[in-house]
Amino acid sequence: METKIGVLALQGGVAEHLNHLNQIENVRAVAVKKPEELNSCLGLIIPGGESTTMRKLIKDYDFKKAIKDFNQQQKVIWGSCAGLILLAAEIEGENEEQLALLDIKVKRNAFGSQLDSFIEKDIIPKVSTDPQELVFIRAPLITEVAENVEILYQKEDQIAAVESEYIIATSFHPELTDSTIFHQYFIEKVKSLSN
């Protein structure tokens, strides 16, 4: 059976996620530009980009309730970078409205403080036993994680990827690497909950 996945297409790295998803067998990825387009999707990716712009567009295009309802139907959402920021329950130093679907606290532009952007290679044990390229671009740091949130990856004391029952969130950008392994991990979670 085909698994249909939406990529929120308001701003940011939409094409790269679509391209990765479409390389996976039996997956069909669509750019979601209107809330009603979520209805036929089993999973959703909120891409990287600029979280302040995306937050405004989510409001302007009436996506907030639709995305929250989508997740309440036990459909999986993965937020990468700006997407992670929008999913977080709390953003340090900001009290703007966001989706707040994941019980974590984040600090924007704070991961690996020396450089704005960098690439690491490391193993994410739950995802693959091979080291993966981890691309960080002005990446958010996860500073607090609730008990119901599992840490998928951390470098020393810096948390960069987490997972809860219906959410995956990464500070880094698997869509900017040559590997589809993280997208496959996401698809497996989507499938396991949609049976």
Ligand X SMILES: NC(=O)CC[C@H](N)C(=O)O
- Sites of contact with ligand X (CB under 6 A): 48-51, 81-82, 85, 108-109, 137-138
Q: Closer to ligand X at the Cβ: 84 or 187? A: 84
49 assigned binding-site residue: yes
Tell me if 108 is assigned to a ligand binding site: yes
Based on CB atoms, which residue is closest to ligand X, 59 or 69?
Answer: 59
The 10 Å CB-count burial string (b at 16+, else e) for 19-45 is ebbeebeebebbebeebeebeebbbbb
Q: Which amino acid is at 36?
A: E
Exactly one of 17, 81, 163, 183 is catalytic; which is it?
Answer: 81
Residue with Cβ nearer ligand X (6 or 12) = 12
81 classed as catalytic: yes
Shortest Å, Cβ 77 to ligand X:
16
Question: Of 16, 17, 175, 183, which residue is the catalytic one?
Answer: 175
Q: Which amino acid is at 124?
A: I
- We find the least distance from the C-beta atom of residue 93 to ligand X, in angstroms, to be 12
CB 100 within 8 A of CB 68: no
Q: How far is the CB of 50 from ligand X (least distance, A)?
A: 5
- Residue 51 marked ligand-binding: yes
Beta strands of the chain (E only): which ranges?
3-8, 27-32, 43-46, 76-80, 88-91, 102-107, 117-122, 132-137, 141-145, 150-155, 158-163, 167-170
Is 41 part of the annotated catalytic residue set?
no
Helix (H) or strand (E) holding 153: strand 150-155
Of 17, 41, 163, 173, which residue is the catalytic one?
Answer: 173
**Minimum CB distance to ligand X, residue 128 (Å):** 22
Active site residue 175: yes
Give, as one character, the DSSP assignment of residue 42. S
Residues shown for the chain: 195
Residues serving a catalytic function are 81, 173, 175
**Annotation: binding site for L-glutamine:** 49-51, 108, 137-138
